[in-house]
Structure 1
Amino acid sequence: MKANSSNFQLNIIFGFVNSVVSVVQTFWFIPYIKEYLGTTAYGYISVVNGLSNTLFVLVSAIGSMGTRFILVTLERKYDEESNEYFNTELFAMIVGSLILGIIALVLSFNLGKVMRVDHHFYKEVQVLLILTINTLILQLLASPFSASFFFKNTIYITYILYTLDYLGRITLTVIMFHHNMKVLWSAVLSTNIVYILSLVFYMAYSRHNIPSLSINLYRAKLDKLIELVKSGVWIAVSSAGNMMVSSLNTYFANILCGVFITGIYASIMQFNIMESMVLSVLVNSLLPKMFKLFSHNDSKNLFFYTIYSMTLVSLILGVVSGGIVIYGNDFMNIWMGNKFTGYAPLIFLTVAYLPFTLPSQVINQSFTVMNKVMMPAMFTILTGLMNILLSIIFVKLFQWNIYGVALASLVVQVFRDCILFPCYFYKISMYFDKKMSIPFFAALASIVITIAICFVIRLLIKPTSILAFISSVMIAGGIALSIILCIFNFISRKLSISL
């Protein structure tokens, strides 16, 4: 138990270190690109990322379920079966990588048909697209080996590798720009290099820590592949719906609202991405215990642990969102300049609902752990289609421009995460009770308390300079986080769930 607790803390610590470095890298990279290449340049990077990630989820879903089956069979000490799942997933990932590579080439040669691109950026966006998709291919190939980090609860090692990636992106971009190679794809080239080295490390780590998992594609089984595909199809559908609800918003903005405002919206969306990263750190750190509870048929504690995890996520994201609501406009002024201010309503629409919706991704993970993925996938693709429809209606019919894109995302995520997911969880869990409402009340309390504290501190310490801004944010955030952690300790004692 001490080792598990220690690893959990390391996962959280290195996860947040990785998040901080990622945020620093992102918030440095955007103005850096803007200064050298213009505001629209980052819009292309954001659009390509959204488009590539959508392709990625269509071929990576089998990997998601493969990891699930590998972990469950390893926990139950079914070594032969886990090896079959491992090699079956590896075979599927190799085939998926080939498909993704072909799609990358086809899209790059027909780029003008899928997005708006200025002529002088055309070749650079082509290279950017190919290199971005190649990083996704490397992630696919690493997927079967990643199960070892969850099984050993050493997820912090992956965060160290991700941190090296972010630092490499900064370093290589500066070097290339300094030598007059000002291109859109400098950062993703660094990611390719780091991911190749990471793939080698993943393979060595898996071989050393779980020797029962060995590469032998002859052990890939058709029945296991069918099982992975049957579940993976729904993961792919769910992931595609998630992309239509969130990541593809910049693509919709590019098509519906134009290039320049997409650059501004993509900058503001970094707040949303930052909160999603916090969510990812928390969920990944909590996930190993979810697998253990399920593998040992401890359904009751799995339900309470899900509530515990959601509550933790709600409270922390409430602090982040509350701070962004009050200080977001000040930050945009310091970070990007005066022309990026005046979008406080857009910032609010982008982040205020996240403490209520993102915690439901914990429920979604529990669906994956329990292999109950069909209905959540149908819900997600439904809301993804709703997001497209509402974006068109709000932008074209009501003329709300970029605010229409943001509002559409808000409406459909609240509908899915606060209504559909909890209702389905109620349907499949014999232990479901009123405690499921705790995370949503926790989110409300957290964001209201944080907004009130930040508002008062901002009046006392006006963020008129970078130093004043940092001081004001740190004092307000420290006070809010201290209060929120006290609330969480009280709730966790009531739930009687420990890490």
Structure 2
Amino acid sequence: MNKKQTNINIVVNIIAFAVQIMIGFYTAPVLIRALGTEAYGFIGLANDFVTYISIITAIFNSVVARFISFEMARNNVERGEQYFNSILAADFCLAGLFSLAAAIVVPNIDRIINVPKDLILDVKITFLITFLAYILGVITSIFTTAAYVKNRLDIQGSRNIIQSLVRFLFIVIFLNLFQIRIYWVSAAALIAAVVVAVLNINITRKIMPEIHVNIHKASWSMILELVKSGGWMAFTSLSAILMRGLDLLVANLMLGSYDMGLLSVARTFPNYFSSIINTIAPIFSPVFITLFAVGKMEELRESTKASIKSMALILFVPLSGFLVFSGDFYTLWLGGYSAGQIRMITALSTVTVIQSFFDASTSTMAQMSVVTNKLKAPVFVSFFCGLLNVVTVFLLLKFTGLGVYAIVTSSTVIMVLRYVIFNSFYCAHVLGLQKREFIPGAIKTWITVPVLIMGMLIFKYLIRINSWSHLILAAVICGGLGYIGEFFMLEGCKGAAKIKFYMQKLKSRKRLQKE
């Protein structure tokens, strides 16, 4: 693996993730205090509606970066350029289609979902702005592939940081200078989307100058080829919606806008964990694709194993910390909520986060279906899991008193089984290896989780957390010790050797600088 570039990509994207958390940390309590739990839930629901229509764009855009990367790795620049312009033409057509959909959905949104009368106008404006931001993203989505193709996902991370900061800046301006409305969050996101669109175009020109925008090079045969592969990924997107994308809509229609609001609050930070997993895991893909394209299968196998440990090392400590300290965090963060509401939000968040441990450790293995362009089996498995989840949720809501807990429990149980059983075996299968090739490495990461949680629980009982300073102190100490412990648990004796090697390297650099 190109370890240096991969590590840079990871670090920059983690910083981008941290910035996103800061935004959510600031905006959620302000909006909840000013507008109430019900209103806050409609921000997430508007984004979910955009996710529903993203199934169509996934048909075209989900695999184009893989095709361009594959051709560029083989120095077939002309074909890479044709793929680029083919998707650009397709995206313009899709943008027109989505504009028509928005014109129909937005004016009638109160007839589609349950909206309190006093929020109807605000909700319509929120949905309209959210659709506009998405349409802009569709038109310029092809320009996001350059960072992937050139394995410069640090640029993508930097771009995400800029987008988050612009969004945060305008959220602060809108919420402090104008009357607080839920659509200000969407308006800030639209402005940030405009800035990022311009950045993406400039980045593409700079790091991938051999690719030029020329709509005349668009090829319908290539679009159909991408549809053939991307159709399976779109099916996967549909499966993801059936699995987790309908939770707020189901809560709104079957339980009411209040429970939807509580669920929206509870999934705020679990969604961030899912987001960072989905951001970091593809960082390994450019290297995987290059190794696969040139037939270096042994290096690809070792790179995959290394990525499993890397994902666990990066994410297991914060995930464990969230499980242990989430109750204390929500008590401080949502000061206006009752003890019962805090317990409910904590429980919903905890159940949702559990699946992230297994998602993180198998997410790079899941990328192998795209690398090898063998997408059918994952699609059918995902779709089956999605259908099973929908059926299970409706049965639980109808025949049990679980209420909103049914929504998160069903998806967590099903997804954990999918990650553990399918991702590991299928990755080995498409690479022509023994089915159990990656299981030992994954199990080794999972064994560290109880150790991390137990250590943090012991520390929690030693310090009483009743202020932000206490919580930050606990996070710093548990985080530091957790990362040290996780490193040695995953690396074993090699960990000490690696530390010694890097210390010697650092000393030699200092010695050279002095000379």
Distance 2:378 2:435 in 1: 20
Letter in 1 for 2:91: M
Distance 2:291 2:116 in 1: 53
Letter in 2 for 1:419: I
Distance 1:378 1:51 in 2: 23
Instruction: Please say if residues 304 and 364 of structure 2, whose CA atoms lie closer than 8 Å, have aligned partners that are also in contact.
Output: yes
Shift of 1:313: 1.8
Match of 1:435 in 2: 437
Shift of 1:352: 1.9
Shift of 1:14: 1.6
Letter in 2 for 1:346: L
Shift of 1:64: 1.8
Pick which of 390-399 and 279-288 moved more: 279-288
* Aligned residue runs from structure 1 range 263-278, under 5 A: 263-278=261-276
Of the three residues 353, 356, 370, the one matched with 2:355 is 353
Distance 1:54 1:311 in 2: 33
Pick which of 258-267 and 435-444 moved more: 435-444
Q: What TM-score do you get using the length of structure 2 for normalisation?
A: 0.90
Match of 2:124 in 1: 126
Distance 1:192-1:492 versus aligned 2 partners, 3 A rule: farther
Pick which of 183-192 and 356-365 moved more: 356-365
Instruction: Please say if residues 307 and 438 of structure 1, whose CA atoms lie closer than 8 Å, have aligned partners that are also in contact.
Output: no
Shift of 1:199: 1.7
Instruction: Please say if residues 14 and 159 of structure 1, whose CA atoms lie closer than 8 Å, have aligned partners that are also in contact.
Output: yes
Pick which of 41-50 and 304-313 moved more: 304-313
Instruction: Please say if residues 240 and 381 of structure 1, whose CA atoms lie closer than 8 Å, have aligned partners that are also in contact.
Output: yes
Gaps of 5+ in 1: none
1:446 aligns to what SS in structure 2?
A: helix
Instruction: Please say if residues 150 and 208 of structure 2, whose CA atoms lie closer than 8 Å, have aligned partners that are also in contact.
Output: no
Letter in 2 for 1:279: I
Distance 1:333 1:477 in 2: 20
Instruction: Please say if residues 300 and 431 of structure 1, whose CA atoms lie closer than 8 Å, have aligned partners that are also in contact.
Output: no
Deviations 1:369-425 (A, max 9, x none): 111112211111211111111111112211211111111111221232222333333
Pick which of 254-263 and 484-493 moved more: 484-493
Letter in 2 for 1:144: I
Deviations 1:179-221 (A, max 9, x none): 3332212122222222223222222222232222111111111
Distance 2:477 2:185 in 1: 34
Distance 1:491 1:294 in 2: 31
Shift of 1:268: 1.6
Shift of 1:42: 1.2
Shift of 1:433: 4.7
Deviations 1:326-371 (A, max 9, x none): 1011111001124232234333311123211343332222111111
Of the three residues 166, 169, 189, the one matched with 2:167 is 169
Shift of 1:19: 0.9
Task: Establish whether residue 425 from structure 1 lines up as the match of residue 427 from structure 2.
Answer: yes
Shift of 1:119: 1.4
Match of 2:342 in 1: 341
Match of 2:489 in 1: 487
Instruction: Please say if residues 293 and 299 of structure 1, whose CA atoms lie closer than 8 Å, have aligned partners that are also in contact.
Output: yes
Instruction: Please say if residues 450 and 477 of structure 1, whose CA atoms lie closer than 8 Å, have aligned partners that are also in contact.
Output: no
Instruction: Please say if residues 355 and 443 of structure 1, whose CA atoms lie closer than 8 Å, have aligned partners that are also in contact.
Output: no
Instruction: Please say if residues 358 and 420 of structure 2, whose CA atoms lie closer than 8 Å, have aligned partners that are also in contact.
Output: yes
Match of 1:96 in 2: 94
2:343 aligns to what SS in structure 1?
A: coil
Deviations 1:260-317 (A, max 9, x none): 1222221121231121133134213222211211221223332332232123223433
Match of 2:503 in 1: none
Pick which of 391-400 and 141-150 moved more: 141-150
Shift of 1:439: 4.3
Letter in 2 for 1:223: S
Instruction: Please say if residues 245 and 384 of structure 1, whose CA atoms lie closer than 8 Å, have aligned partners that are also in contact.
Output: yes
* Aligned residue runs from structure 1 range 28-427, under 5 A: 28-337=26-335, 338-339=337-338, 340-343=341-344, 344-427=346-429
Letter in 1 for 2:222: K
How many corresponding residue pairs?
492
Instruction: Please say if residues 282 and 364 of structure 2, whose CA atoms lie closer than 8 Å, have aligned partners that are also in contact.
Output: no
Distance 1:140 1:266 in 2: 25
Distance 1:239-1:39 versus aligned 2 partners, 3 A rule: same
Distance 2:78 2:167 in 1: 40
Pick which of 89-98 and 242-251 moved more: 242-251
CA RMSD in angstroms, aligned pairs only? 2.1
Instruction: Please say if residues 355 and 416 of structure 2, whose CA atoms lie closer than 8 Å, have aligned partners that are also in contact.
Output: yes
Instruction: Please say if residues 275 and 320 of structure 1, whose CA atoms lie closer than 8 Å, have aligned partners that are also in contact.
Output: no
Distance 1:418 1:113 in 2: 41
Match of 2:446 in 1: 444
Instruction: Please say if residues 60 and 96 of structure 1, whose CA atoms lie closer than 8 Å, have aligned partners that are also in contact.
Output: no
Distance 2:361 2:244 in 1: 15
Shift of 1:43: 0.6
Shift of 1:12: 1.8
Distance 2:183 2:64 in 1: 32
Shift of 1:139: 2.3
Distance 1:425-1:5 versus aligned 2 partners, 3 A rule: closer
Shift of 1:490: 4.1
Distance 1:416-1:364 versus aligned 2 partners, 3 A rule: same
Distance 1:255 1:317 in 2: 34
Shift of 1:491: 9.5
Distance 1:54-1:432 versus aligned 2 partners, 3 A rule: farther
Distance 2:428 2:175 in 1: 54
Instruction: Please say if residues 88 and 219 of structure 1, whose CA atoms lie closer than 8 Å, have aligned partners that are also in contact.
Output: yes
Pick which of 296-305 and 71-80 moved more: 296-305
Greater Rg over alpha carbons, structure: 2
Distance 1:491 1:354 in 2: 28
Distance 2:147 2:431 in 1: 28
Pick which of 20-29 and 208-217 moved more: 208-217
Distance 1:182-1:282 versus aligned 2 partners, 3 A rule: same
Instruction: Please say if residues 93 and 140 of structure 1, whose CA atoms lie closer than 8 Å, have aligned partners that are also in contact.
Output: yes
Instruction: Please say if residues 425 and 432 of structure 1, whose CA atoms lie closer than 8 Å, have aligned partners that are also in contact.
Output: no
Of the three residues 462, 473, 476, the one matched with 1:474 is 476
Distance 1:202-1:353 versus aligned 2 partners, 3 A rule: closer
Distance 1:419 1:436 in 2: 11
Distance 1:345-1:177 versus aligned 2 partners, 3 A rule: closer
Match of 1:456 in 2: 458
Distance 1:382 1:32 in 2: 39
Distance 1:123-1:176 versus aligned 2 partners, 3 A rule: same
Instruction: Please say if residues 424 and 436 of structure 2, whose CA atoms lie closer than 8 Å, have aligned partners that are also in contact.
Output: no
Letter in 1 for 2:398: K
Shift of 1:468: 0.7
